[in-house]
Structure 1
Amino acid sequence: MPRPLLPLLGLLLTACAPAISGPVQPLPDLTATLTIYDPQRLRVVVMGDQGTGTEVQQRVAAAMQTVCAAQACDVGIGLGDNFYPAGPRAADSPLFKTRFADVYGPLNIPFLMVPGNHDESGLFGGDGTDARGAEAQVAYSKLNPQWVMPGRTYRAPVNTLAEFFVVDTSPLAAYLPVRRASERPGGPWDLAQRAWLSQALGNSTARWKIVLGHHPLFSNGKHGDAESYDGLPFAFQRGDAVRDLYGLACGKADLLLSGHDHALEVFAPQSECPGTWTAVSGAAGKIEGSKVGIRAAVAEFYDQPGFLWLDLTPQMLTIRVYIVAADGMVNMSWSQVIQK
């Protein structure tokens, strides 16, 4: 759908959408326990927006194998938009094989998977309105242990060194009102997810706390910051609820990882989110555009495919940005050490 038509269609559908209120049912505290043999070190490869089935996805996956063979990778992260243009509706879809198992199976590590707006497509690809796409991915996790996704919202402790907190941001920044009215911004599901994240972070005793969601809090890419996505006029489209959700992690989480913009960006703690680093890794399958925003970043790469690699010890979190050239060569383009 042409983007200029989204405000008009959003206005029409919003006018017809009922207001949703009522009791908030707590989300289940779903946990994926990852066993890593070295309790003092964790290496993580971070991809996002990878599920294109294109040469770019294949090239970045091969580069990830190269880096993991040289430096080791214990866990992978997929930050959403695991399928383009839309996610499958059934766990037995062949797309799971061609876009994931065949491509990332050789890495032989578990991947913490996050749902994205293309995964939750409804009326058109990427509208983020139908959570049944994410639920098919939850079902697939029961068929392939490498795809870790016990729910749309879950946490994954790794010994006492780190804990990851996965949230589903797609209903909170959909281009149109979502299919399930209870999951619209400000509704019972949104409030329940906020309550879960706040409690999970508060209860965690992990040395490093990392939040994973598809939509970014901060980005200089074409989608922009939460609360101003794509210059769209309505709060449910522009990500006001995404900002509010992530705001619960500010100062509690050490790092917030997201995709959505097809770029590689790292931001030191900002005045709107003190105490928490944020990063975008959305260039593992599709690249496009150039810098649009003006927010100060410590690293940013546009129109170049690549991924992030993290190295965690009790004292340090190292973030590295890897860029993959057209000939498949992979280069470390930037590195940052965060000490604790």
Structure 2
Amino acid sequence: MSKRFLYWPSVALVVLAGCSSPPPAQQAKTASTGPITLLAFGDTGYHYDYLEKEDYETVVTEEQFLAKEKQDWIDDKRPIEELAYPPMYKLPVNGSIVAASGQEPVAKAMKDYCAQHGCDFGTLLGDNIYPDGATAGADGIDDQKRFKDLFTIPYAALGGGSKDFRIYTVLGNHDWHTSREGAMAQVHFMETTPPFYMNGLFYRVVPPAGRGEVEIFAIDTEVMLAGTTVYEAVLADDASEAPSTELEELEPWAVPQNDAERNMAAWLESSLANSKARWKVVIAHHPLWSSSGSKFEQAKALRRIILPALCRHADIYLAGHEHTLEVHTDDCSTASVGEVKPLPQIVSGSAAKMRPINSAFIRNQLKANPQLKTLYSRGLAWGFSHLTFDGDKVTVRMVETPQTGSGAAGVTFEQTFTRRSGGR
């Protein structure tokens, strides 16, 4: 059997409750004053040569694959009438059926979209290597080959040869799975291999291509969460949040190891507060809000740690982790920071994997959290985000590529936000 692709256009939720903003007025564009463009993509590391061991050892038929997907849908409390399946791929090595990877088509779509619309720099939002991050040789695979296959080949040409193009990177939970040594091996690669960029697990940087207008603040939310209490997410039968007493097991080597890691939230607050940039962009792996119904306890814990700093100082928050495309705002009323503009959050975690949203969970989450507005939520789709900063406005575009694997790019949602921070 060859690749089989199924396209299900009914798995998007758009909620526009009086929150839309008109597009910014057209302005004269010059090399020094024109818009600044940012490419945001995450959860890229799903590659057929680097799957779970069981995927190569156990042959799964198409019928078995679909049956498991249906059972997972039911177990996750998603409305059964919305049942939809991801595209499938037949492994040449054993004929087993696995979920198709969107890495190649999304990489093509990003390259083509950037060539047409511009991408001054990019952000890579974690879970860069599935299933277990860099291993420092523990699985018998050379990490340098892994880095070439997962980073250099698909993404090194994204900047079109621009000397200033960089892909500012954070780690995700999968990048921490094997060891701290493995996680830091990936950090070292990113630190030393343009166009990728890291400067430790967390850092701040003014991208040269941003002409001083944009500053990026990168944090490692896996380390943050490993240093606090996180409960397992449990849903009631109606897909509302249920009480949980079971703690989530996080990798012990991700627990903060020094004062700098333990004080990352304080570093973020002070760094944002003293930034002189017009736009303060925070990038991380874990979202503050999302729509699948399986990550909300992590999000609660993360909001406790960083939402006040974000609400006081940041302009926008970019995350992955959920294999979806989402746009939310939080009005910051629970952050005890006074009256401020709502904080936009973009989830762009479907650059190789995809996950369904849970419409019942979304309705319950919105009802229980009046501070939240979900402007867009799209599941079972591959794609990325593109941001255009123009003066005091940023236009966010969510871009999909079809499940056929063609690599075509199409904008499915667009929203303009006004800068929140004082700045210049």
TM-score range, shorter chain: 0.7 to 0.9
Q: Do residues 176 (structure 1) and 234 (structure 2) align?
A: no
1:316-337 superposed Cα distances (whole Å, 9 cap, x missing partner): 1110001111232221011111
Which stretch shifts more, 71-80 or 191-200? 191-200
For structure 1, the 5+ residue unaligned runs are 1-36, 123-129, 230-237
1:23-73 superposed Cα distances (whole Å, 9 cap, x missing partner): xxxxxxxxxxxxxx6454311111011111254111111110111011011
Offset at residue 178 of structure 1 (A): 3.9
Tell me, in whole angstroms, the C-alpha distance in 1 between the residues paired with 2:386 and 2:135: 31
The two structures have a TM-score, normalised by structure 2, of 0.63
- What does 1:269-288 align with in structure 2 at a 5 Å threshold? 269-270=330-331, 271-272=333-334, 275=341, 276-288=343-355
Offset at residue 92 of structure 1 (A): 4.8
Question: Kindly tell me: are residues 250 and 190 of structure 1, through their superposed partners in 2, closer, same or farther at Cα, counting changes over 3 Å?
Answer: farther
Offset at residue 173 of structure 1 (A): 3.2
Contact 2:292 2:355 in 1 (8 A): no
Identity %: 31
Equivalent in 279, 288, 306 of residue 208 of structure 1: 279
Q: What is the SS of the residue equivalent to 2:295? A: coil
Equivalent in 120, 123, 126 of residue 80 of structure 1: 126
CA RMSD of aligned residues (A): 2.3
Offset at residue 242 of structure 1 (A): 5.4
Q: Do residues 94 (structure 1) and 94 (structure 2) align?
A: no
Question: Kindly tell me: are residues 78 and 89 of structure 1, through their superposed partners in 2, closer, same or farther at Cα, counting changes over 3 Å?
Answer: same
- What does 1:265-304 align with in structure 2 at a 5 Å threshold? 265-270=326-331, 271-272=333-334, 275=341, 276-291=343-358, 292-293=361-362, 294-295=365-366, 296-304=373-381
Q: What is the SS of the residue equivalent to 1:170? A: helix
Equivalent in 202, 217, 227 of residue 153 of structure 1: 202
Equivalent in 39, 42, 45 of residue 51 of structure 1: 45
> Looking at both structures, which has the greater relative contact order when contacts are Cα pairs under 8 Å and sequence separation is at least 6?
2
Tell me, in whole angstroms, the C-alpha distance in 2 between the residues paired with 1:316 and 1:181: 37
Structure of higher CA gyration radius: 2
Amino acid corresponding to residue 299 of structure 1 in structure 2: Y
The two structures have a TM-score, normalised by structure 1, of 0.77
Which stretch shifts more, 141-150 or 86-95? 86-95
Tell me, in whole angstroms, the C-alpha distance in 2 between the residues paired with 1:214 and 1:332: 23
Equivalent in 41, 54, 67 of residue 113 of structure 2: 67
Question: Kindly tell me: are residues 241 and 269 of structure 1, through their superposed partners in 2, closer, same or farther at Cα, counting changes over 3 Å?
Answer: closer
For structure 2, the 5+ residue unaligned runs are 1-30, 49-100, 137-141, 160-164, 227-247, 367-372, 420-424
* Residue of structure 1 equivalent to 2:59: none
1:116-146 superposed Cα distances (whole Å, 9 cap, x missing partner): 0000004xxxxxxx43333112211243111
